[in-house]
Amino acid sequence: MEFSVGEDLFSVLVVTGLVIVFVAALTHSYHVYAERRNASEDFDLALDIAKRLRDQILVGQNDQIGLLELSHERLEDYSRILALQGINLRVEVRTLEGESLFVRGPDLNPFEHYFSPPVGVGLPAAVQNQGLAVLCELSVQVWRG
């Protein structure tokens, strides 16, 4: 094999450059594809968790579905089960005026989760608070770690 400097070497540089550019583009496309798929799966997971919290975990003692009773213990147990599967959970209950009634889970730093951002779902919910049913937003955030 012989190289004539200035011709064959130039063509090798050109094609190597092209290959690098296209492989980078392919990798990026796959990354975008995988990110979309993960975001969709995480959103589905967040919906499942929010539904389970509403219908089972935080349901009041008289089993009245739709009226939540805030319990750190029950949420702690449920979070532990999710943590075993590598799923992190933050639950917040806010009144419609924005006052926070209940928070469980770590504060989220946007830079810390730059590569796997948390996915969130918010649902309206009536919450038992000091003998009254208060209309709130149940906010569930899920991320893998």
Partner 1 sequence: MNERGFGYIADMLVFALLLSTATLLLARVSPVDPRADSTRHAVIFAQSTLLSLQNTTADQFGGFEYEFRVSELGLSMTGGSARRELRHKTITQLLAEDALLNLRVEAGGTDLTLPQPNRDMNEEFKGFLKSALDRMIGGRFGYRLRARTEPIDLEFVRVHFETGIEDLAQARTQLCSETVMLSLPTSQEELTRRIEEMLGIDLFGQDLEVDPIIEMTLELWSR
- Contact between 30 and partner 1 by CB under 8 A: the answer reads yes
Which letter does DSSP use for residue 109 in this model?
P
- Contact between 11 and partner 1 by CB under 8 A: the answer reads yes
What the block records as the tokens of 9 is 């070497």
Task: State the Cα–Cα distance between residues 120 and 112, nearest whole angstrom.
Answer: 16
Contacts of residue 97, Cβ cutoff 8 Å, sequence gap at least 6? none
Q: How far apart are the first and last CA of the chain?
A: 52
**Which residue reads 């009226």 in tokens?**
67
- Contact between 44 and partner 1 by CB under 8 A: the answer reads yes
Least Å from the CB of residue 7 to partner 1: 5
Task: State the Cα–Cα distance between residues 140 and 95, nearest whole angstrom.
Answer: 14
What are the respective helix, strand and coil percentages of the chain, to the nearest 5?
45, 30, 30
Least Å from the CB of residue 111 to partner 1: 26
* Of 41-49, 77-85, 86-94, 108-116: span binding partner 1 (CB under 8 A): 41-49
Residue closer to partner 1 by CB (options 19, 83) is 19
- Contact between 14 and partner 1 by CB under 8 A: the answer reads yes
Contact residues toward partner 1 (CB under 8 A) are: 4, 7-8, 10-12, 14-15, 18-19, 22-23, 25-26, 29-30, 32-34, 36-37, 40, 43-44, 47, 50-51, 54, 64-67, 96, 121, 123-126, 132-135, 138
